[in-house]
Amino acid sequence: MAKANMSLLRNPMPAQEPLVRARNFDEVALGYSEETAIDEAMRCLGCKNMPCVDGCPVKIHIPDFIAEIKKGDFEAAYQIISKSSSLPAVCGRVCPQEKQCESKCIRGIKGESVGIGRLERFVADWHNTFCLEDPVKPQSNGHKVAVVGSGPSGLTCAGDLAKKGYEVTVFEALHVAGGVLVYGIPEFRLPKAIVAKEVDTLKKLGVKIETNVVVGKTLTVDEIFDMDYEAVFIGSGAGLPNFMGIPGESLKGVYSANEFLTRSNLMKSYRENPTTPIMKGGKVAVVGGGNVAMDAARTALRLGAEKVYIIYRRSMQELPARHEEVEHAIEEGIEFSLLCAPTEIIGYTNPNDPRDPKNGFVKAMKRIKMELGELDARGRRRPVEIEGSEYEIEVDTVIMSIGTSPNPLIKSTTDGLEVNARGGIIVNEDGLTSRGGVYAGGDAVTGAATVISAMGAGKTAASAIDEYLSK
Amino acid sequence: MYRITQKKILNPTVIQMNIEAPLVAKKAKPGQFIILRVEEDSERIPLTVAGTDKENGTVKIIFQVVGATTKKLSFKEEGEHICDFVGPLGTATELDGLKKVCIIGGGVGCAIAMPVAEALHNMGAEVTSIIGFRSKDLLILEDEFRSFSDTLHIMTDDGSYARQGNVTVPLKEMLEKGGKFDMIITIGPLIMMKFVTETARPFGVPVTVSMNPVMIDGTGMCGGCRLTLNVEGKKVTKFACVDGPDFNGYEVDFDEAMSRSRMYADFERHAYEDTCNLYKKEVN
Ligand SMILES: Cc1cc2nc3c(=O)[nH]c(=O)nc-3n(C[C@H](O)[C@H](O)[C@H](O)COP(=O)(O)OP(=O)(O)OC[C@H]3O[C@@H](n4cnc5c(N)ncnc54)[C@H](O)[C@@H]3O)c2cc1C
Ligand code: FES
């Protein structure tokens, strides 16, 4: 075998030019070629104690799959990943690798860690391009299981059970399956064709997907049991958007990130002649510093904004978004206003004409400067307002991206389903809730988290449900 | 896909359809709504449930052709299908314990008020209905209201039918004469519901209004449908799709709701014209 690649730097990810991509919705990162993938794989030392695996929430056998890439056996690499992960093409694109596997990589001590996420994506894309045989629907074992919600947790749970012969039906509130992967994360970061393919694979495995069913409204969990389902997995996510409660949040031009992204991604208002409207152009302020904020900001830019600000109350170090997204956002010209927070959104009013159509639209935002003070309970320095430092900036659109909570709908219609103070469904280590036969996982349990942890929770619950129904 | 089992033109701009959706039909109660998409890539729009036929598994909707999407829907014929139909969403109108109720509907809002009147009538409550329209040719559901109401007032803005004036005129007269109601339930244009609330205020009669803001998902996920309530001097944000659509009229910030409802006015006008032009091209 060729010698290890001792370059301190990882192979850069080929990407669309910043100024070009800032005006289109095509995928930004283009993926490694076979040669680059092998070259990058050669940087892996294959450590015996596998620190990277420790950093992976679902314990993918990372050095093993990378060893197969070194040999050029990409399908073997894929098979190794798919033992632990159901959505490698997705996770390779959206996982915060720099906080997980890559943060533990020995190569990262002196230089850059191995591009594990990029390799995962390469392997998954290679498989999706070259291995086109359809999955075969297994022999039914006669047990029916229902899954609520078609985000990563629900899709994974459904897939794992279907492979074991369960007859699985997924109930989804929206008109398409995929959860945040379709309504939240934009096309330029996660092409919808990838999600559609995952859903398609499930259908071929025999999973039924019933869209337009809001559990708690159209059907309750109890009614699902009455329909002869023997277990229910709840993967309903954390979709309820939070607002700040500052004056002016109901002005025209103020969105939750969920609404803005849903209009663009799910309802396709980024296309020409859309049927669902969205505010385009002008100056846009996005409040928040997570992945959702980055996605909203970069979507606004692509919709034609002349200026987009990220408004975040801490500093660059504390930004919770994936590293790569922040880098991309900066390259694209998003302006980061750090250590400041909005205190009021100001609307336009024409004192002489109450019928002026511009009345009630956003005109400006009042912000206050912050400094970092004491450590908070989670060990982050708490932002404190600097008195008297308020100032105004002109904006036309404001997008609130300050977090989401689990939707109370299922809890409020399911007797005996216990939730914690933040609305998260309470489960044990198997994903079992306080109701027999009812399991839950993903953001509905943890509050807004990550695709990989939601997927992992779906896997755990699937094996627990299998054990429960095999008894 | 959801089949249109029946289509009926109620007046030049208002259409009634029965849609096959057994799960929704089984569950829907007066005051709840559904969200539909006409075709792949269409907008999602909310419409209130105007009735259900549990046996045949159909849901009745009544809509006014006001924008591009309702225009597209109006072109669909019996036997054809629409792409998506989800519900029932929102909470049902609270009717328990009501004995004497005034129902006030304006325009196509009467379609939503009608099942509420029907439910109350079937509960044995005394129902006074006031329904208002711009003119005679826009009148709908007169017979239905007549059969579900103990007293019925019909109003037209231009006096082309029944009595001329706003729905608030007979309301004010009744209240001034000492008329007592457990509740006024009003459904129609925001401005009408605002004035009904103002008319009732001096008499202290509880008012329930039915809000119909811009919506997307209808499950509490986007917050686009939010409105502000003034609850005991404090401003509270509510999502109409899950917390409503019914609210206490005295608490609703109508001015804000009216402003928000015009957010996409320009877009909607253009989209409507485009749809009409497209249709004209198709028929020519
Ligand atoms: C814009 C955005 C960007 C993100 N970026 C990243 C990233 O880069 N990396 C990362 O790891 N994570 C990211 N996340 C977080 C990640 O997407 C979520 O943690 C993950 O999707 C949670 O999966 P889930 O299966 O728990 O729920 P979801 O993906 O939220 O899916 C829940 C599904 O359930 C449906 N549902 C809800 N209630 C009901 C009901 N009553 N009946 C029927 N169906 C219902 C919903 O419609 C939805 O389809 C991002 C999130 C957002 C919003
Ligand atoms: S319509 Fe989206 S939250 Fe109500």
Count the Cβ atoms, other than its own, within 10 Å of residue A153: 37
Of the options 1.10.1060.10, 1.20.1250.10, 1.10.10.410, 3.50.50.60, the CATH number for the domain spanning A18-130:
1.10.1060.10
Tens digit of each residue's pLDDT (9 = 90 or more) over B189-207: 999 999 999 999 999 999 9
Residues B126 and B67 in one domain: no
Q: Report domain extents, chain A.
A: 18-130, 144-239+405-469, 243-402
What pTM was computed for the model? 0.94
Chain B contact set for A273 (CB, 8 A): 274
A410 lines ligand 1 (CB under 6 A): yes
The helix (run of H) or strand (run of E) holding residue B49 is strand B45-53
Whole-angstrom Cα distance, residue B112 to residue B63? 10
Task: Write the residue with the smallest CA distance to atom 38 of ligand 1.
Answer: A236
CATH of the domain at B63: 2.40.30.10
Which ipTM value was assigned to this complex?
Answer: 0.92
Residues A410 and A146 sit within 8 Å (Cβ to Cβ) = no
Task: State the total domains in chain B.
Answer: 2
Q: Is the CB of A245 less than 8 angstroms away from the CB of B237?
A: yes
Question: Final residue of a domain: which of B89, B108, B141?
Answer: B89
Per-residue pLDDT of chain A (471 residues; tens, 9 = 90+): 567 898 999 999 999 999 999 999 999 999 999 999 999 999 999 999 999 999 999 899 999 999 999 999 999 999 999 888 888 999 999 999 999 999 999 999 999 999 999 999 999 999 999 988 888 899 999 999 999 999 999 999 999 999 999 999 999 999 999 999 999 999 999 999 999 998 998 999 999 999 999 999 999 999 999 999 999 999 999 989 999 999 999 999 999 999 999 999 999 888 888 888 899 989 999 999 999 999 999 999 999 999 999 999 999 988 999 988 999 999 999 999 999 999 999 999 999 998 888 999 999 999 999 999 988 888 888 999 999 999 999 999 999 999 999 999 999 999 999 999 999 999 999 999 999 999 999 999 999 999 999 999 999 999 999 999 998
Residues B84 and B135 in one domain: no
Ligand 1 atom nearest residue A186's Cα: 1
Residues B14 and B78 in one domain: yes
Task: Write the residue with the smallest CA distance to atom 2 of ligand 2.
Answer: B222
The alpha-carbon gap from B242 to the nearest alpha carbon of chain A, in Å, equals 8
Q: Locate tokens 């939240």: which residue?
A: A184
Q: Is the CB of B224 less than 8 angstroms away from the CB of A259?
A: yes
Count the Cβ atoms, other than its own, within 10 Å of residue A139: 7
Query: Is residue B225 included in any domain, yes or no?
Result: no
* CATH domain A243-402 topology: FAD/NAD(P)-binding domain (3.50.50)
Whole-angstrom Cα distance, residue A361 to residue A250? 10
Whole-angstrom Cα distance, residue B284 to residue B279? 9
Residues B45 and B83 sit within 8 Å (Cβ to Cβ) = no
CATH of the domain at B171: 3.40.50.80
Angle B167-B173-B176 from CA coordinates, rounded to 5°: 135
Judged by a CB distance cut-off of 8 A, whether residue B34 touches chain A is no
How many angstroms separate the alpha carbon of residue A398 from the centre of ligand 2?
18
Whole-angstrom Cα distance, residue A21 to residue A13? 15
Whole-angstrom Cα distance, residue B174 to residue B181? 10
DSSP string, A327-340: HHHHHHT-EEE-SE
User: By C-alpha distance, which of B74, B152, B84, B85 is closest to B113?
Assistant: B152
Classify domain A144-239+405-469 by CATH architecture.
3-Layer(bba) Sandwich (3.50)
